[in-house]
Amino acid sequence: MSATVTVSGMTRMGAAVSASLTVPFAASGKERMDLVVVDPGTRTISRVAGAERTAQLDALEWQGNPGGQTIVGRARVTDGAVTTVETGLWRGVTFIGQNRAEEARIARNRGILAPLVAAATAGSAITLGGYGDSITALQSNVPDYVANGILRDRALSYLANYPADTKALVATYDTGDGAGQVHTRLGWNWHIKAALEALGGSSVSYLNYGIGATTSQNTEPVAGRGNGLWPARIAVPLGAGLDAVVIGFGMNERGQSYTYANIVNMIGQFQGA
């Protein structure tokens, strides 16, 4: 069984391109992430098949290699359907037509971060904090309020059902805390740390204060697992002398009206610390 995907459009030079691609369905219980590509020289449109993986798991990690061709679309291929996304509508993470708004946001952020960027460019030591839920913590169990420790940055604990070849792609590290070579360096905070260090050779210490299954609220539903505004919890990073902090709450309270005000409250506390 298969589906037909029709591709048409214009190159940047104004030349028309079009093609109809036959996309075979994946085997039962499997899925692929195929690429729709255009050869920049011949303008030929073709499909690069990804590896077939267990459905609803890790096909995105095993896409095909475009081999120098331009990716214009992605196709999620299951055992009975093909769903396509036109990647040409995006420039990086910016949707076409939203460039001005994105540029304004970037300019604002750069202005706010100017002192931090200047310190990193000068090679100064920087302490970066991460304060949020499990997306920050990436924990293997419930950690306490003190940063880092043996339970945080253990992303492989979230991948227990993934195949061994996918888990092998994740680098692990021994941080000297006694847990062994089990810690990972995944997530936006590790990317921020690397970006700051690349600016001028600064040493960035990252302190992970994340705790899974928490919200931004000023409550402690479970003893020792206070939410973001719980005084005993937020007092720890507030007293750490952080140069910057990434606040990451919201996943466990989607759609709630109080999230924005709570985050603003946290920002005010960190700015005043």
pLDDT band at 13 (very low <50, low <70, confident <90, very high): low
pLDDT tens profile 132-172: 999 999 999 999 999 999 999 999 998 888 999 999 999 99
Between CA 229 and CA 248 the distance in angstroms is: 12
Between CA 210 and CA 143 the distance in angstroms is: 8
Which ranges constitute the DSSP H helices of 124-181? 134-137, 164-167
CB of 48 closer than 8 Å to CB of 33: no
Parse the chain into domains and list their residue ranges: 2-91, 113-272
Q: What is the mean pLDDT of the chain?
A: 94
Between CA 90 and CA 76 the distance in angstroms is: 18
- Please report the pLDDT score of residue 156 as a whole number: 96
pLDDT tens profile 56-97: 999 999 999 999 998 999 999 999 999 999 887 777 778 888
* pTM > 0.85: yes or no: yes
Q: How many of the other CB atoms lie within 10 Å of CB of 58?
A: 19
Between CA 264 and CA 128 the distance in angstroms is: 19
* Phi–psi pair at 20, nearest 5 degrees: -115, 125
